[in-house]
Chain A
Amino acid sequence: MTELLPNISNKLDHVLAGLPMLLPELVLTATFLTGIGAGLFADRYWRHASFAVTTVGIVLAGVCSAWQLALPAVDNLLFGMATMDAFGRYARLLTAAVCLLFVLFAKANPGFNAHRKKTSDLYSILLAVHIGLNLMGVATNWLMVFVAIEMASIGSYLMVGYLAKEARQTEAAMKYVLFGSVCSAVMLYGLSFMYGFTGDLNFTSAAHIQGLEGTAPLLVATALLFVFTGIGFKLSFVPFHFWTPDVYQGASTPVTAFLSTAPKIAGIALLARIGYAWPADSNAFQYLHTLILVSAIVTMLLGNLAALRQTNVKRMMAYSSIGHTGFLMMAVLAYSSGEFAILLFYLAVYALMNMGVFMLADYIEARTGAVDVDEYRGLGKVLPAAFVSFVILLISLTGLPPTAGFVAKLLVFSAVFNNWQLTGNAGMLLLLIVGALTTVISLFYYFKVPLHAFLRQPEQERKTLPAHPIVVGLALLMAAAVLLLGIFPSWLMA
C-alpha cells in the first residue's frame, strides 16, 4: 500500500480525466436518483413526474453520447477498465433509443398503469439497467464486464417480476433469476480462472494475452467456455437459450420487447470486443471463434425451427429473436477487426423491427385480447393500420426487400462472403447457406400472422376495447422507417 501513496494524486487526476467520457452514465446516475425522488414525492402531485424525469434523463444521456461520437477514441480509461471508441458510443446511443422506446411503451401499457405503484420504480430500474448495458458495451476489463452484466441482469430480473399480478409473470421472473444467477456464477468461476492464468483482469492487455498463450489450451478453452456461459445467457444463444421462450412469454410485453432488444445490443458489442481482443492466431481466439461459429449455426437453425410450431405470438417472437441472435453472431464473426458499421446497422434495424412487433402485439392484445396467432383471424379488417405495419415489420424480419431487414441481411451476407473469400474458411460458407435456409424457414411462421389476419375470416365478430394510440403510432413510424431505410439505407449508415 505504501508505495501507492506518492502517486495517488496523479491516479486521481487520471480518474477525473476519464470521467467526462462517462458523461452519459453520470447523467443517467443523476436521473436515477432524481427519478427515485420523483417517484416518492413528486408523482402524487403530478403523476407524470417520474416519467418526465426519466424521459428527459435518457434523452440527455443519448444527446451526450451522440455529442461524444465526434471525440477521438480513448482506450485504457480508468486504468483499462473500459475503452471508449465509436463502436461503444454507437451502442450506447442505440441502447438509449431502445430505453426511450421502452419508456413510452411501458407508459402506454395497461398492465403497468393498473399497477399500484404505476411505473415510477420501473423507470429507476430501467435506468440502472441502462447504465449496466452502457458499461457492458465499453468494458475491457473482466471485473467491469462482470459488474455490468450483473447490473443489467439484476435489473432485468426485477423488470420481469415487477408487476407480479399473475402467476406466469412470477414464474417467468423466477426462472429468469435462477437461470441467470447460475449462469453468472459459472461465468464468475470461469473468470476466476482467466484471472488465474494471466494475473491480469484487463483482457486487452499484453499480459493477459501472453498469459493465455502460456497456459494449457484445454484449460483456456474450459475457462472461456464458462465465461461464454454468462454472455450466452445475456444474448440467449444456444445452448443458453432455454429460459428465453418461457420468460418472454411470461413477462409483460414491454419488458419482453426490452429484454429481446437492449441486452442483445450490449451483449453483441461485448462479444465483438472480446472476440477481437486477442491476436487471430492465439488459441483463445481460435476457440472463441469456433464456439461462436458453431453456436451461431445451431442458434439460427434451432430458433427458426422451434418457432415453426409456436402459436403464442410472444413465444414465437422469442424464438425468432433467438434466430436473429444467431444471425448477429454471424455478423460478429464476419466483421473482421475494426469496421462495425454492418453490425451496428443490423442491430439498429433489429431493434426497430423487434420493438415494433412487440408493441403491435401488445396493442392488439389490448384491443382484442388476442395473444395466439389463430386468434388473429380476420383482424386485418378490424385494425388495418396496425396489421399493415405488422406485416411490413415481419417482412423486414424475414429479410425481404424493400425493407431495412433485407439490406441488413444483404450486408451481413456480403461481410461473411468477403471474409470467406479472404480466409477461405469453409465455416463461413456454411454460415451463408444456413442463413439463407433459415430465411426460407422463417417465412413459414412469420407469415402465420398475415395468413390469419388477412386470409382467414373471423368466426365471430370480435368487439374491440379502447387502447392507448401512441403505441400503434410509434409502430407505424417504425414500419415507415423500416421501409425508408430499406430504400435509402445510407441515411442510417452515413
Chain B
Amino acid sequence: MPNLTLTYPLLAALSAVLLPFAGFLLSIALGKKARHGTVAIVAISLSLLAAGYAFAQVWGHDPIHVRWHWFTIGQHAFHVGLLLDNAAVLMLLLVCLIALPVHAYSFAYMKGDPGIHRYWAYLSLFCFAMLGLVVADNLLLMYIFWELVGFASYLLIGFWYTRDAAAHANKKAFIINRVGDIGFLVGIAMVYSSVGTLDVQALFGPQGVFAAPAGADIPAANGKGTVTAGWLTVAGFAFFLGAMAKSAQFPFHVWLPDAMEGPTSVSSLIHAATMVAAGVFLLARVFPLFNEAMLLVIATTGTITAFVAAYFALTQYDIKKILAFSTISQLGFMMSGIGIGMYHIALFHLVTHAFFKCLLFLAAGAIIHEMQHMKEKHGLAIDPQDIRNMGGLRKRMPITFATMLIASLALVGFPLTAGYLSKDALLVHAFEWAALQRGPVSAIPYVLAIVSILTSFYIFRLLAKVFFARPAAILANKGVSAHEAPRQMLVPMVFLAFCSLFPLFTFNPLNDGQVWLLQGIAAELPTLPPLRLLHLLVPILATITTIIVAVVVWRWYIRGHYPLNTTGALYRLSERQGYVNELYGAAIVRPLLKLSALLWWTDRHVVDGIINGIAAAGRALAGITTWIDRHIVDGAVRLVGKLAWGAGNVLRRSQTGRVQQYLALVFFIILLILLYLIFAQA
C-alpha cells in the first residue's frame, strides 16, 4: 500500500535520482564554464552515496512505495512515485557504481574536447534518466524516463555532430528505439485499458492483478468482461518489442554497432552497461504479464540474438564493433534467461556483465586513445580503432592488458570471475528448463553453449591481435611506441576489474547457489527441478572448451597458422554483419521514401489540377491510377471549379450581341415551355 511519508531510504533514493538532474541544470546554466566537469562528477558521487544508503536500507526488506498525485484525467488520477524493491535498489546502486568510474575516466579521456561542457551535461542527464527509470513506480513514468534515456543516448551518440557517421548513427538509434517505444506505449495503453491502472506494484506485485497464473483471464477495468489471454499475449509482445529495441535484440540490433560513433566512455556506460540493459530490467518488471507462449518467444529471440551477434563478432576488425556485438550477444543471453523464467539470473548476469563489459570498453578506450594520440603525433594515416593496426601492446600497456584480460575471462565465464557465476547459472538453468520442454525449443541451451564457445573465440582473437601479435608494420617501421594510459583512466579500470571478480558476489567462487544477489531477488520465484549432474558438468565442460579455444586462437593468430579463407560465404556473411542493414535499406527505408514521394506527388498534382483544370484532366487521362489519386483528394473542389468555369464559357456563347437572336432565343424557350406544358397535359 503506497504511503505518503518520506522515509530516509526514500529520501536517499530520491536525491540519488535528482542530484544528477541538478547537475545537468547547473552545467547547462554554467555553459562553457563547466568544462572541467566537477559539477557532474560531484553530483554522481553524491548520488552513489545516497544509492548505497538506500540499497543498504531496502535490500532484503519489504519494498517501499511512495507516490504523489500528478494530474487527473476524468476520474483517473495519475501519480509520480518511487517503488524501492530489491531490483530497483540493486539497479540504482549498479548504475551509480558504473557511472562514477566512467565519469572519472571521461575526465581524462575527453580532456580538451571543444564541446566537453555539453558532454558533462548530457552525461548527467543520462544518469538522471536512467536512475529515474529504475525507481519509477508506474509504467507511464517508466516510459517517460525510458524515452529520456533514449534522448540522452541520442545526444551522446551524436556528440561529435560534425561527423556525418555520428549524425546518421544517432538518428538511426533514436528511430529504431522509437519502434520499441511505440511497442511500450501500446503495451501501456493495453494494460491501462484492460486493467485501469499503471501502478507496477498493483499490477505485478505479489498480490497484484497479474499475480494470477499467466494465461488465466483477468477481471478487466470497469468490470466489463475480462481481458482475454489473446490480448495479454499481444500486450506482452508490445512490451517485449520495447525491450527488443532498447536492448538491441535481433533484428533491432543494428543501431548498437553504429552507436559506437559516440565517445568510447559513452559506449561503455550507455551502450554496454546500463541503458541497453534497461530492456532486460523492463521485462523483469513486467514479468508476470507473460504467458507461456510469450516466454518462448522471448527465449527464442534471445538465443537467436546471442548466436547471430557472436557470429558477427567473429570477423570484425573495429575493436569497438567487436565489443558492441559481444554486448548484443550477452544481452541475448539475458533475454533467454528471462525467457526461461529465470529473470533473477538474467538480472544477475546483467549486473556482472555491466561491470566487465564496461571495463572492456574502457580498456578499449584507453587503447584507442593511445592510438589516436600516436596517429596525431606522427601523422599516421590509420584508423585508431582497427585491431589490425595494433599489436604487441602487452608490454607497452601492461595494466590495460591486465584489466582487459580479467574482463575477457569474465566474459567467457572463466572460473573465479563474476561472469562464471552468472553465465554458468544461466546455462545450467537453461538445460534444466529445456528438460521440461518439447520440440525445437529444447535446443536453446545447446545453442547457448555454442555461443559461449564463439564468445571465447572472438574475445581471444581480440586479445591476441591487440596485445600479442607482432606490432603492425606501419607502427613498427616508424619506431612509434605506445605508452600506458594516464592514471585517471587506469584507476577506474582497476576498480572495475576488481568488480568483475567473484568476491563481490559470493565467497564460494564455484557455486552460484550461494550468490546473495540471486537469493535477494529469487525469493518469490518458483524454481525448476534441479539436475545435480548439470551443476557439475556444465562448468567443467565450459572451462575446458574455453581453454581449447584459447589454444586454437593462439595457433591461428599468434603463430600465424591461419586456416580459413576470408572469401568464404560464411566469412563474408559474418563480416558484413549478415547484410541486415542493407536489408533494412531495401525493405523499409527506400520503400518508405518512395511512398512519401508518391503521396507528395499526388498532393502537388491535385493542386496543379485545380489551377488548370482542363490541362490536368488531359494529363489525368494519361494514367488511370493518377487520375484516381487526384480525384480521391479534393476532386470535388476542382470539379466545381471546372464546371463553373465551363458553364460560364457556355453561357457567354448566348450573348452574341444580336438583339434579334436574343428575341429568337426567348421565343424558342417560351416555345419549349409551351410544348412541355402541352405534353404534360397529355
- Chain A positions within 8 Å of B, measured between CB atoms, are 174-175, 178-179, 182-183, 217-218, 221-222, 225, 229, 239-240, 242-243, 245-246, 301-302, 305-309, 440-441, 444
Contacts and interface: CB of A to CB of B under 8 A. Distances in A.
Interface of B: 640, 644-645, 647-649, 651-652, 654-655, 657, 659, 662-663, 665-666, 669-670, 673-674, 677-678, 681
Nearest to B673: A225
A251 B647 CA distance: 27
A306 B659 contact: no
A20 B645 CA distance: 54
A236 B663 CA distance: 13
22 contacts: A178-B663, A182-B663, A183-B666, A218-B681, A222-B677, A225-B674, A229-B670, A239-B665, A239-B666, A239-B670, A242-B655, A242-B662, A242-B665, A245-B655, A301-B647, A305-B644, A305-B648, A306-B652, A307-B648, A308-B645, A309-B649, A444-B644
A183 B681 CA distance: 26
Nearest to A238: B669
A308 B654 contact: no
Contacts of A307: 648
Contact of B659 (A217, A240, A243, A305): A243
Contact of B644 (A218, A225, A239, A308): A308
Contact of A308 (B648, B655, B674): B648
B669 A222 contact: no
A222 B644 contact: no
B677 A218 contact: yes
Given A182-B663, A239-B669, A305-B644, 10 more contacts: A217-B681, A229-B666, A239-B665, A239-B670, A240-B666, A242-B662, A245-B655, A305-B647, A306-B655, A309-B652
A229 B644 CA distance: 28
A225 B678 CA distance: 13
A49 B644 CA distance: 50
A146 to B, nearest CB: 19
Nearest to B646: A305
B659 A302 contact: no
B636 to A, nearest CB: 12
A222 B665 CA distance: 17
Given A217-B681, A225-B674, A305-B647, A179 B652 contact: no
B202 to A, nearest CB: 55
A309 B645 CA distance: 8
A444 B663 CA distance: 30
A239 to B, nearest CB: 4
Contacts of B648: 305-309
A104 B7 CA distance: 92
A179 B658 CA distance: 11
A434 B626 CA distance: 31
A229 B668 CA distance: 13
B681 A242 contact: no
Nearest to B655: A245
B49 to A, nearest CB: 69
A240 B677 CA distance: 19
Contacts of A221: 677
A182 B670 CA distance: 14
Contacts of B657: 246
B674 A222 contact: yes
Contacts of B665: 239, 242
A440 B669 CA distance: 28
B682 to A, nearest CB: 10
Contacts of B670: 225, 229, 239
A306 B677 CA distance: 28
Contacts of B663: 178-179, 182
A306 B651 contact: yes
Nearest to A174: B659
A229 to B, nearest CB: 7
Nearest to B654: A242
Contacts of B645: 308-309
Nearest to A216: B681
The list of the 5 closest CB pairs from A to B, nearest first, reads: A242-B662, A308-B648, A306-B651, A239-B669, A309-B648
Contacts of B677: 218, 221-222
Contacts of A178: 659, 663
A47 to B, nearest CB: 37
A288 to B, nearest CB: 13
B80 to A, nearest CB: 49
For A222, A305, A309, the residue with the greatest tally of chain B CB atoms inside 10 Å of its CB is A305
Nearest to A221: B677
Contacts of A308: 644-645, 648
Contacts of B673: 225
Contacts of B647: 301, 305
B659 A175 contact: yes
A222 to B, nearest CB: 6
Contact of B662 (A218, A243, A302, A305): A243
Contacts of A305: 644, 647-648, 651
Given A221-B677, A222-B674, A179 B644 contact: no
A174 B662 CA distance: 13
A175 B660 CA distance: 9
Given A218-B677, A218-B681, A245-B655, A441 B644 contact: yes
A183 B678 CA distance: 23
A198 B647 CA distance: 43
Nearest to A175: B659
A229 B670 CA distance: 9
Contacts of B654: 242
- Max chain A Cβ within 10 angstroms of own Cβ: one of B640, B648, B677: B648
A218 to B, nearest CB: 5
Contacts of A440: 640
A164 to B, nearest CB: 17
B277 to A, nearest CB: 62
A308 B652 CA distance: 10
Contacts of A218: 677-678, 681
A294 to B, nearest CB: 9
B648 to A, nearest CB: 4
Contacts of B655: 242, 245-246, 306
Between B647, B654, B659, the greatest number of chain A beta carbons within 10 A of the residue's beta carbon is seen for B659
A179 B674 contact: no
A444 B641 CA distance: 10
A2 B681 CA distance: 46
Contacts of B659: 174-175, 178-179, 243
A113 B655 CA distance: 32
A444 B637 CA distance: 13
A305 B673 CA distance: 23
Nearest to B641: A444
A444 B655 CA distance: 21
A252 to B, nearest CB: 19
Nearest to A305: B647
Nearest to B681: A218
Nearest to B656: A242
A314 to B, nearest CB: 14
A178 B657 CA distance: 13
A41 B655 CA distance: 44
Given A178-B659, A217-B681, A221-B677, A242 B666 contact: yes
A302 B651 CA distance: 7
Interface centre among B645, B663, B665, B669 (most CB of A within 10 A): B663
Contacts of A243: 659, 662
A178 B659 CA distance: 8
Contacts of B678: 218
Contacts of B640: 440
Nearest to A245: B655
Contacts of B674: 222, 225
A245 B681 CA distance: 36
B612 to A, nearest CB: 16
Contacts of A309: 645, 648-649, 651-652
A305 B648 CA distance: 5
Contacts of A229: 666, 670
A243 B660 CA distance: 10
